[in-house]
Structure 1
């Protein structure tokens, strides 16, 4: 059985602010809207996430048994993982079940991006109920010391167990079985995996690991079978002994043998349950990951861009690029100046997500800074992975998981068939007064699972992306066309992306004459990225239409993401 969970709620804030946003978006001042037919809440026998939201209510949540949609869907970073999730839905599992199973499957087929040795964050929404955020990222150990590897206490397994305890309906072991089979039986190496084994940290990470090498001694080639027997054994242990096996049981010893991880901190790990941040964008409300994740920065980014008139500009045009770069400059400054773990520092979320304040900042904003003289550091590869799931009841999960840098970075470490994170390196990467390591503290990072709500407070889109520091720009590049310009979802996902970092303007293609002229005027250095750079992520988005009961997905061709929509029931 999964280990009992009483997730930490030390970062919870009152619901009033987000509720006010939703009411304002609906143009009313009365009570919150009634839920759609079928009700909302957790499956029978499970505690309601709403009960952990600081309301103090112990009333059981309404059943999610009635369908409000005719379709359900899974979007994830690899087709095999999408298949796992849809099979769970077709078995009668809900969106939380499918998300957990998909996440473990992604950990098998994308071992460079996420897994047991890492962490993540998820937003869960049940109909018109206020969304709940889960943060199960890595923490600084009790010693307060960060090892050279940057490895923090991994929270992925605890996070999945928490979601299962609060929202799941199928047995824990049933959700891990597909990932175990993928690891034990093997699967064809994809182009992305083959590339990652040969790029940046890949060669060092897989050195000495036989499962990643072919008969000739080189890394497995595209199409060759990757069998991960040791990982299969670890997954089987987690399935049979429960998630506590990793924290206090038979698997804990392999973690406590790692520099920086100790038994007491490992045993005391708890997933954080809190509220996502929220703010108005156009006629919708965007909710995203709570601090120390950058959801407030994503909201601020979009509000500033909207105030700058970006809705009137063609995506990819010089005017669009200029407005988005200016908006990102404001939002990035907000992240760098204000963001930190709210258990340790005060984070001015209300100010960062206030549309009027951000409209003022838009009017005051100057042109983004030009590139500094001298050689430029390469833009970091867009690590991490994301998945989104919607079931027939309307339950929606938006989840971003990671081991931080691909393979866990320069000092990659593999134990039990999985790779450990280097998440605590983010303290040094964003060395600000609000982001300093202390025991139990989480670092600022860039994962931003998000949901878009309509004027009635219902989820109409779940989305997220890998991409490291570029994640806010990636999400904004999809949300501006979709929310502010009314573009179809696939068109919004396909829209050209760019990212300004330290005066370097990363682009997907050669700049147009107008964009090149803008770059010269601003003093930016254009840089065209390659697919191998993986800078521009892979957005996994699902759109919900309650009128016709359908779910629409979009395939982001920048990586290997896939989407599947299946009939309800």
Structure 2
């Protein structure tokens, strides 16, 4: 006798709804930290600052103080949005001749540039760019924060003193970068055992293994006491620069002291009967505007995402990315792993923050500053090492990023969404925007609906759970590969978002994110 079995699995991550504030983040502990700040009377910006530093402790391979990013802010009383971009910048003393091109081959990480000998632009001290995350958090807090800066860093300090718990997911992430981490003695000492294995040996639920982050905690404590300026002009800056220069990097005190950012008028994108606010420069905001502008002409929305709408998504994204690649030089590999984090906040008054931050690659440069405990970015990899191209490497130059935090509004609903995932970010933001504004899906339904990725490659990557008629329609004009939505690696971006409608706030994160979740203020419904 023979038997046949059919296994069907369904993953659900319900959105949380509340009259109080909500934080959606890629780590639930950071989301809880954000809501605790809201409960103490903090603004959405206060919560975002606390979450930013907490994420650098809880998920250090994705982001941290020595990275960069951007955010969109909504002020309910003003009925106004603000854009703030604080991406990484190449050092002033950077010497392009220090990155000799290999005779053949492509780079070993996210971007298919010409390879540089020994991947010097990908990992190691030469790959470190001037960080912007602390400047961004400080600028936002100075403009809109209610609580003292020092108080906002205390939860991250507490987590760092406890050390990073190495569970199965952390061990999986560390294992994927073991070889690269082993090349820097201080990174190896922090994350590896005997310089070659993830620090997970013997871990069980009853015998925890934690990574020592006490040095990082000390740096955060000084940053809390002295304020964000210390990161750029104080003892933290001096210590960090000495560490990196001792390793052979270009980063200087002048690079840090001269780093400056300002609020920008957001890119306002009219889309049918809605408006989307995005960052205007050096991000994927302009490419989102290009995509949405095409979509308005390509299909008529119905009650649910249809074959026609998905065909329009594919055509609009393909054309927008073709223009982006030609004019902006953004050439990262479309199916590279997610190496960023995103979180969204809404407070009880309706103020919102959509914030994306990154070290660029997984574990950034894979270099740890030994006297600060900071894991450093590898922002130099964002530049094309070959001269004569739109995004060619040069000294004192801002990096072009793929981040795409947005604030959207339609009728009585407003939402703040974004994602991690390199070039997959903008397509995910576009999908979620369309699901909610074109088809009337709730935040929860939008996050659960299958998506596809069209971000400049030759192949559409489609969730195999999309309706067969949608996949069939996509296949008429494009080469399509279907895949599962899994925990690791991510075939699609990893979004997080919040929304507000008629005084009710809600939040949701990527349903396959093992650590991510949305958390509401206690005592609210």
Q: Mark yes or no: TM-score above 0.5.
A: yes
Q: Is the 8 A contact 2:460 2:478 kept in 1?
A: no
Task: Indicate how the Cα distance of structure 1 residues 268 and 101 shifts in structure 2: closer, same or farther if over 3 A, else same.
Answer: same
Please point out which of 447, 461, 464 is paired with 1:493: 447
Tell me the distance in 2 between the aligned counterparts of 1:430 and 1:85: 42
Unaligned runs of 5+ in 2: 1-17, 100-119, 122-126
1:196 partner SS: helix
Instruction: Give the structure 1 partner of residue 491 of structure 2.
Output: 535
Instruction: Give the structure 1 partner of residue 62 of structure 2.
Output: 113
2:348 partner SS: coil
Tell me the distance in 1 between the aligned counterparts of 2:196 and 2:129: 32
2:430 partner SS: helix
CA RMSD of aligned residues (A): 2.9
Tell me the distance in 1 between the aligned counterparts of 2:388 and 2:353: 32
> Displacement of 1:493 after TM fit?
0.7
Tell me the distance in 1 between the aligned counterparts of 2:354 and 2:24: 10
Please point out which of 402, 408, 415 is paired with 2:358: 402
Q: Is the 8 A contact 1:151 1:422 kept in 2?
A: yes
Please point out which of 197, 200, 214 is paired with 2:174: 197
> Displacement of 1:92 after TM fit?
1.2
Tell me the distance in 2 between the aligned counterparts of 1:392 and 1:523: 45
Q: Is the 8 A contact 1:392 1:568 kept in 2?
A: no
> Which stretch of structure 1 is more off in the superposition, 422-431 or 130-139?
422-431
Name the structure, 1 or 2, with higher relative contact order (CA <8 Å, separation 6+).
2
1:271 matches 2:261: yes
> Displacement of 1:118 after TM fit?
0.3
Tell me the distance in 2 between the aligned counterparts of 1:214 and 1:102: 29
Deviations 1:119-164 (A, max 9, x none): 1101111114331111111112213546633321001111111111
- Scaled by the length of structure 2, the TM-score of the pair is 0.80
Tell me the distance in 2 between the aligned counterparts of 1:285 and 1:432: 37
> Displacement of 1:509 after TM fit?
2.9
Tell me the distance in 2 between the aligned counterparts of 1:126 and 1:378: 34
Q: How does 1:434-449 map to 2 (within 5 A)?
A: 434-449=390-405
Q: Is the 8 A contact 1:538 1:561 kept in 2?
A: no
Instruction: Give the structure 2 partner of residue 179 of structure 1.
Output: 156
> Which stretch of structure 1 is more off in the superposition, 259-268 or 187-196?
187-196
Task: Indicate how the Cα distance of structure 1 residues 561 and 120 shifts in structure 2: closer, same or farther if over 3 A, else same.
Answer: same
Instruction: Give the structure 2 partner of residue 78 of structure 1.
Output: 27
Tell me the distance in 2 between the aligned counterparts of 1:432 and 1:300: 25
Q: How does 1:550-561 map to 2 (within 5 A)?
A: 550-559=504-513, 560-561=515-516
- Scaled by the length of structure 1, the TM-score of the pair is 0.74
1:532 partner SS: coil
> Displacement of 1:429 after TM fit?
8.4
1:329 matches 2:318: yes
> Displacement of 1:255 after TM fit?
3.1
> Displacement of 1:254 after TM fit?
3.9
> Displacement of 1:180 after TM fit?
0.7
2:157 partner SS: helix
> Displacement of 1:511 after TM fit?
7.1
Q: How does 1:244-283 map to 2 (within 5 A)?
A: 244-257=229-242, 258=244, 259-283=249-273
Instruction: Give the structure 2 partner of residue 136 of structure 1.
Output: 86
Please point out which of 539, 544, 553 is paired with 2:500: 544
Deviations 1:461-520 (A, max 9, x none): 111110100111111121111110001111101111211342122233377655665565
Tell me the distance in 1 between the aligned counterparts of 2:401 and 2:194: 39
Tell me the distance in 2 between the aligned counterparts of 1:161 and 1:79: 23
Tell me the distance in 1 between the aligned counterparts of 2:75 and 2:470: 43
> Displacement of 1:299 after TM fit?
2.2
Q: Is the 8 A contact 1:482 1:489 kept in 2?
A: yes
Q: Is the 8 A contact 2:130 2:255 kept in 1?
A: yes
Q: Is the 8 A contact 2:26 2:509 kept in 1?
A: no
Tell me the distance in 2 between the aligned counterparts of 1:402 and 1:429: 21
Unaligned runs of 5+ in 1: 1-68, 342-376
> Displacement of 1:202 after TM fit?
4.6
Q: Is the 8 A contact 2:93 2:395 kept in 1?
A: yes
1:389 matches 2:345: yes
